């Protein structure tokens, strides 16, 4: 049986080693507090309960989290399992610790009833959303890791459900937070319970071949080591067999036996600098035969979870392939501990650099074209500010846009539920239709066959497009007369606003022509569509505006109509913006440089007024700017020009087409370095016929410098074509 003293000692060792700055006094107090609270409880194996929080705190300390997190780990089961309260903990250990404990408690209470893939994804997101502080999730993952390590004391049934949960929720979370080491252990241990036979076979094989494997790894290791020390690169090299679950998964997915499996071995070379990484890569490729298509540069293009490393696969002795990962110490730290690595050096140091945490938001969702900085104000994880996760009474998770109401929920279940809704209950209490739902709410919709259907107000109350379009559909179907009347008045109102007479539409020649353009069979159909919101009056008029203007002029009654901005018009009024461009007629607005054509000073440019993100700047020859000729959009294109004298560098993208060869990438990088230009991103892809294409993003001051770079690239051996990026 494990004892308090053993775990206490090993926690202290971990703290001294990994978090020496921790407040030991507070740690001691928290241990005493937790021990007292849990004193009558036992673990499944009969040992005192306090061993569990001690062990969880040890893992938390090992990954380098701070004092608050260690205290949170020590106290993490107090609110759930003892008479301790939030206030008491806040009183004794401060509000931050209390909030961490409460956060972990909330996650502990989440029931996992169904685990289909979509559900699992939602649950993972909800975990993140419910934890205001990323440390809550980290503590919860450490809690799960210790429970996994001690799973042998659980009933068989519990072993299986818990392991499934670990595989579906916790291991992917650890992965997305970049905590490779913990992810591996979670997966390997869970596999043992989920497929004991498969696990044993695999382990049996690995053990039987252990001596061979070690000899092979030692040979490769010393060869690489000799070579690198001969050229004066200091490094540490380790070889390992890849973790069990990753081998297992590959065997299953590729339907291969262990003997057929491609690569079992991974070597890791850790060096001091990034340039050493590339140097080592060169040496490895000279020493061993390269397996084509396996080189990956995650240094210039990190994975979303911040992972950085060079990967290559080569063939060694007896034709055995193996992978080599090359990275710096810092990158290695991040690879092992992910987001937690950020705390390692943080305590006591004022970083003030919130941008560092920008990537957290990117972890679990596709990056929108928004300014990520706006979202990250502190370490607080509000990455799911735009989503809320609620339950059906049966425990299914429904994800809705933030601010959603019972109406959104009802339509997310089924339009039939929404259309017959007569009331709603949130957490078992009757709630009004417009109440905002919160993470974890249980929502029930009351329906009746005799319900009179949605009301138009609902369109203003609901948050989701789904609900809005389903409500509109209902009106479209049920309320044709009303729609026609509404549509007609809004269409005619819009005509009058343009100084056009509604009587134009009655013109016998014109009417069929207009309807054809609008793709409606009758004016009533069009009015109905406008009435239920299928098309806006402005859009409908946009399609026939030229015809209307012409008819109006020939009727002699034309007055000046809506203004059309001429693309070539000179700029009349300019104001400075700090973005390096000036926008005609607009005082100050958000400026964004489009990613499709990445303009730089000197390029001929034009601006597009986006919905909500200010003005986006395109090159005039960008295919997307061709849309400026579309009359419907014309009003949104504005003249812009470069502000002279700006010295801020601009990110831009080049596409380099080349005959594929070794070290091509290095030459591209060298061309930039020689001009002291910072590379931001590089993507490579193989093309048929032995060619490849690199998409390189870097910063330049203007067109002149860009032209120099393009010429430098053209001079590189094997390069066939260099052009501005346009995707
Ligand atoms: Mn626990």
Distance 142 CA to ligand 1 centre (A): 9
Centre of ligand 1 to C-alpha 46, Å, is 16
Q: Output the pLDDT for position 280.
A: 93
Question: Active-site residue among 80, 195, 336, 699?
Answer: 80
Instruction: Give 597's Cβ-side CA count (13 Å radius).
Output: 19
Which residues, 6+ apart, have CB-to-CB distance to 544 below 8 Å? Answer: 514, 517, 518
Distance (angstroms) between ligand 1 centre and the Cα of 77 equals 5
Instruction: Give the pLDDT of residue 511.
Output: 83
Give the distance (Å) from ligand 1 centre to CA of residue 427.
Answer: 26
Expressed in angstroms and rounded, the spacing between residue 30 Cα and the centre of ligand 1 is: 15
138 alpha carbon to ligand 1 midpoint, in Å?
Answer: 13
pLDDT of residue 290: 84
C-alpha 452 – ligand 1 centre gap (Å):
50
Whole-angstrom distance, CA of residue 169 vs CA of residue 187:
11
Mean pLDDT of 470-486: 82
568: pLDDT strictly greater than 70: no
The CA 428 to ligand 1 mean position distance, Å, reads 29
Distance CA 633, CA 91 (A): 60
Reported as a pLDDT band with limits 50, 70 and 90, residue 122 is low
Q: How many residues does the chain have?
A: 727
pLDDT at 76 over 70: yes
- Which CATH code of 3.30.565.10, 3.40.50.720, 1.10.3210.10, 2.60.40.1220 fits the domain covering 4-153? 1.10.3210.10
SS3 36: helix
Name which CATH class applies to 650-724. alpha beta
The domain ranges of the chain are 4-153, 203-342, 367-476, 479-560, 575-642, 650-724
Q: What does pTM read for this prediction? A: 0.54
- With residue 224 as reference, give the H or E element that holds it: helix 210-230
Residue 102 C-alpha to ligand 1 middle, in angstroms? 13
Side-chain half-sphere exposure of 35, counting CA atoms within 13 A:
14
Predicted confidence (pLDDT) at residue 162 exceeds the cutoff of 70: yes
Please give the sequence-ordered ranges of beta strands (E in DSSP) within 121-229, or none if there are none: none
Strands 605-609 and 429-431: unpaired
Dist CA 246 CA 187 (whole Å): 9
80 catalytically annotated? yes
H/E run at residue 605: strand 605-609
pLDDT for 382: 35
The first and second tokens of residue 138, run together, are 């980290």
The answer to whether residue 349 scores a pLDDT higher than 80 is: no
Catalytic residue among 35, 81, 365, 584: 81
Evaluate whether 417 touches 410 at the Cβ level (below 8 Å).
Answer: yes
Which residues are within 8 A (CB) of 530 and not within 5 positions of it... i.e. 6 or more apart? 483, 486, 487, 488, 490, 491, 536, 537, 540
Ligand 1 centroid distance, CA of 114 (Å) = 22
pLDDT at position 69 is: 92
Mean pLDDT of 384-413: 81
Distance between Cα 52 and ligand 1 center (Å): 7
Greater confidence, 572 or 375? 572
* pLDDT at residue 417 is higher than 70: yes
Confidence band, pLDDT 50/70/90 cuts, at residue 145: very high
Tell me the C-alpha distance between 113 and 396, whole Å. 8
Angle of CA points 184, 290, 695, to nearest 5°: 80
336 Cα to the center of ligand 1, angstroms: 23
Query: Domain 367-476's class?
Result: alpha beta
208 pLDDT above the threshold of 50: yes
* CA triple 377-380-382, angle to 5 deg: 85
670 — pLDDT class (breaks 50, 70, 90): confident
Region 569-593: mean pLDDT is 60
Q: Are 202 and 258 in contact (CB under 8 A)?
A: yes
User: What is the 109 CA–ligand 1 centroid distance (Å)?
Assistant: 11
Could you tell me the distance, in angstroms and rounded to a whole number, from the CA of residue 195 to the centre of ligand 1?
25
- Separation of alpha carbons 188 and 203, rounded Å: 11
Ligand 1 centre and the CA of 35: distance in Å? 14
User: Of the CATH numbers 3.40.50.2000, 3.50.50.60, 3.30.460.10, 3.40.50.1400, which one belongs to the domain with range 203-342?
Assistant: 3.30.460.10
Query: Does residue 660 have an active-site annotation?
Result: no
Compute the distance from residue 539 Cα to the ligand 1 centre, in Å.
58
Q: Which region among 198-212, 308-322, 564-578, 640-654 has the lowest average model confidence (pLDDT)? A: 564-578
pLDDT, tens only, 450-462:
888 898 889 889 9
Whole-number Å distance, alpha carbon 514 to ligand 1 midpoint, is 69
**Rounded distance from Cα 362 to ligand 1 centre (Å):** 29
Which is higher by pLDDT, 384 or 655?
A: 655
* pLDDT value for 352: 35
The pairing of strands 719-724 and 691-700 is unpaired
Residue 149 has pLDDT above 90, yes or no: yes
Question: What integer pLDDT is reported at residue 347 of this predicted model?
Answer: 44
Q: pLDDT class for 489, splitting at 50, 70, 90?
A: confident
> 103 versus 629: which is more confidently predicted?
103
For the stretch 351-367, pLDDT in tens is 333 333 444 444 433 32
pLDDT in tens, 189-198: 999 999 999 9
Whether residue 564 contacts residue 631, with contact meaning beta carbons closer than 8 Å, is answered with yes
Strand partners, 426: 429, 443
pLDDT value at residue 593: 80
In this model, does residue 78 exceed pLDDT 70?
A: yes
């Amino acid at each position: 049986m494990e004892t308090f003293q053993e775990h206490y000692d090993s926690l202290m060792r971990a703290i001294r080693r990994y978090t020496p700055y921790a407040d030991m006094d507070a740690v001691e107090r928290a241990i005493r507090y937790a021990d007292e609270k849990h004193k009558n409880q036992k673990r499944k194996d009969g040992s005192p309960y306090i061993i569990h929080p001690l062990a969880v705190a040890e893992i938390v300390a090992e990954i380098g989290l701070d004092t608050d997190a260690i205290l949170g780990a020590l106290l993490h089961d107090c609110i759930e399992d003892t008479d301790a309260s939030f206030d008491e903990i806040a009183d004794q250990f401060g509000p931050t610790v209390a909030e961490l404990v409460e956060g972990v408690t909330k996650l502990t209470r989440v029931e996992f009833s169904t685990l289909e893939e979509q559900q699992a994804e939602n649950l993972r997101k909800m975990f993140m959303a419910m934890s205001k502080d990323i440390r809550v999730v980290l503590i919860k993952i450490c809690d799960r890791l210790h429970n996994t390590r001690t799973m042998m004391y659980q009933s068989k049934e519990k072993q299986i459900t818990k392991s499934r949960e670990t595989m579906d929720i916790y291991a992917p979370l650890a992965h997305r937070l970049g905590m490779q080491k913990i992810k591996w252990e979670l997966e390997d241990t869970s596999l043992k319970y989920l497929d004991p036979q498969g696990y044993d076979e695999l382990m049996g094989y690995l053990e039987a071949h252990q001596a061979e494997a070690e000899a092979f790894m030692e040979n490769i290791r010393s060869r690489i080591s000799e070579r690198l020390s001969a050229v004066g690169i200091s490094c540490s090299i380790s070889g390992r067999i890849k973790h069990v679950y990753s081998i297992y998964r590959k065997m299953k997915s590729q339907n291969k036996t262990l003997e057929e499996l491609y690569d079992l071995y991974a070597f890791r070379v850790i060096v001091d600098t990034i340039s050493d990484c590339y140097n080592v890569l060169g040496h490895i490729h000279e020493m061993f035969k390269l397996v084509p298509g396996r080189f990956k540069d995650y240094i210039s293009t990190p994975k979303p979870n911040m992972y950085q490393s060079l990967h290559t696969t080569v063939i060694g002795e007896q034709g055995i392939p193996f992978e080599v990962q090359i990275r710096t110490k810092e990158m290695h730290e991040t690879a092992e501990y992910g987001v937690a690595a950020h705390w390692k050096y943080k305590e006591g140091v004022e970083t003030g650099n919130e941008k560092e945490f920008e990537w957290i938001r990117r972890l679990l969702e596709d990056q929108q074209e928004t300014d990520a900085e706006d979202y990250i104000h502190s370490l607080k994880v509000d990455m799911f500010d735009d989503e809320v996760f609620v339950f059906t009474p049966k425990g299914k998770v429904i994800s809705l846009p933030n601010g959603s109401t019972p109406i959104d929920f009802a339509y997310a279940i089924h339009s039939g539920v929404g259309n017959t809704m007569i009331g709603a209950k949130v957490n078992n209490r009757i709630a009004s239709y417009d109440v905002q739902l919160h993470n974890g709410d249980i929502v029930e919709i009351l329906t009746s066959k005799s319900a009179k259907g949605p009301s138009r107000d609902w369109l203003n109350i609901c948050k989701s497009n789904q609900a809005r379009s389903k409500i509109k559909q209902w009106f479209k179907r049920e309320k044709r007369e009303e729609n026609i009347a509404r549509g007609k008045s809004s269409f005619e109102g819009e005509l009058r606003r343009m100084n056009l007479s509604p009587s134009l539409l009655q013109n016998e020649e014109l009417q069929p022509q207009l309807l054809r353009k609008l793709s409606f069979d009758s004016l009533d159909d069009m009015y109905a569509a406008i009435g239920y919101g299928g098309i806006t009056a402005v859009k409908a008029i946009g399609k026939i505006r030229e015809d209307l203007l012409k008819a109006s002029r020939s009727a002699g009654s034309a007055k000046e109509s809506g203004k059309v901005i001429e693309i070539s018009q000179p700029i009349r009024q300019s104001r400075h913006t700090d973005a390096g461009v000036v926008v005609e007629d607009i005082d100050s607005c958000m400026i964004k440089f489009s990613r499709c054509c990445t303009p730089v000073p000197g390029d001929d440019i034009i601006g597009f007024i986006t919905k909500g993100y200010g003005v986006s700047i395109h090159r005039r020859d960008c295919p997307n700017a061709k849309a400026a000729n579309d009359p419907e959009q014309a009003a949104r294109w504005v003249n812009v020009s470069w502000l002279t004298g700006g010295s801020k560098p601009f990110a831009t993208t080049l596409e380099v087409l080349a005959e594929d060869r070794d070290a091509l990438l290095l030459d591209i990088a060298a061309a930039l370095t020689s001009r002291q230009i910072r590379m931001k991103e590089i993507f490579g892809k193989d093309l048929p016929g032995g060619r490849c294409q690199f998409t390189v993003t870097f910063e330049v001051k203007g067109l002149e410098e860009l032209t120099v770079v393009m010429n430098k690239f053209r001079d590189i051996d094997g390069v066939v074509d260099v052009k501005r990026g346009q995707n």
